[in-house]
Amino acid sequence: MNHYSDNFKTAARKKFFRRSCFFVLLFPFPHILSEGKKIAPHFPISKRGNAMKRKTGKQLILLLFLLFAVTALQNFIQQRSRASLLHTDTCFTESFREQALSPLLYQQLEAGNYTDGEFADLLTATMLNQRFYPKKISGDNCPYLRFKQDEYLFLKDCYSAIWNDLETFPIPARTGTDIQEEISYENTFGARRDYGGSRTHEGCDLFGRISESGFYPVISMTAGLTHSGSREALLGKNPSAEAIAQYSNEQHVTAKTPPALLFHSDDDTVVPSMNSVVFYQALKKNKVPAVLYIFDKGGHGWGMRNNFEYHNQWTNLLANWLKKI
């Protein structure tokens, strides 16, 4: 037993000595030691390994931060670049005046259940995002609100005015398939206008081959009754009382005035229903045949909309009136 015990102790000492020499030789190379199967956690190499792990973790965090910063900077540059296309005079440029909206996109915009403000935002952003020749609806207006808010809101007001004009003064109906045969265009931007005061024309003129009366007459120029945009375009910002009276049709009704059929909506916030009422009263006062229908709702410019709640009713009323007149 003693001999066996001595041999065991001798073998143990030799094994310890060999391991000690191995550790001393490889101490400067911790990455090699870390691959060993048994390294006591209290050895200095363990602390060095933890330090390396902490350093690697910090480097990863720094790398992620740099990646986030680069992405944010790239997004900032892209948005700034998009917004740089917008200026205070954008609505006076040739690109703006030559813009085009396809019938398909027009139908998509009309089909949406938007408020006036939402519709104007969507139309403005769609046009800006695709340089006034859009192929799809794109309502991202964040770059413009972030970098060019005043310019964007001004352009949005311009689009609202244009769209209201399109609804109020529609281009005469076309019968052919080639628009060039049906609509002629005359560039009168900046041309001199003398009626209602000396000024320059702020738009262009469109002429239909078929001349038909529109749906929406501007009857009165009286404040509180008129379409304010039409009055300003025709008479200027501060028209005289004489000019207002001259261009207010209800003040010029006579017995020779043609019969009239009038439709309006009581919730029209663009042109008050009294605009039609005063004309109807003037017609009746002069014994001119006249009929007036005021619907409880419908808003402004529903004559061109097939989705108007009373579409069938008003078209039937119109057909019956035309048969009798």
How far apart CA 95 and CA 50 sit, in angstroms, is 63
**Running along the chain, 325 residues long, what does each successive block of 10 average in pLDDT?**
47 52 45 47 56 74 85 86 86 77 82 83 91 89 91 87 61 47 53 57 53 68 86 85 91 92 90 92 95 91 79 90 85
**Which residues are 192's β-sheet partners?**
200
| Contacts of residue 13, Cβ cutoff 8 Å, sequence gap at least 6 | none
pLDDT of residue 236: 85
Please state the pTM of the whole predicted model.
0.41
Nearest alpha-carbon partner for 247 in 258, 260, 233: 233
Backbone angles phi, psi at 86, to 5 degrees: -100, 130
How far apart CA 157 and CA 261 sit, in angstroms, is 32
Nearest alpha-carbon partner for 296 in 268, 261, 271, 260: 268
Q: Are 105 and 136 in contact (CB under 8 A)?
A: yes
From first CA to last CA, the distance across the chain in angstroms is: 137
Please calculate the CA angle 231-234-240 and round it to the nearest 5 degrees.
Answer: 70
- Altogether, the residues listed in the chain come to a count of 325
pLDDT of residue 265: 92
Nearest alpha-carbon partner for 247 in 260, 262, 231, 258: 231
**Which residues are 193's β-sheet partners?**
199
pLDDT of residue 286: 95
How far apart CA 91 and CA 169 sit, in angstroms, is 20
How far apart CA 183 and CA 156 sit, in angstroms, is 27
Per CATH, the number for 220-324 is 3.40.50.1820
Say which amino acid occupies 102.
S
Q: Are 53 and 31 in contact (CB under 8 A)?
A: no
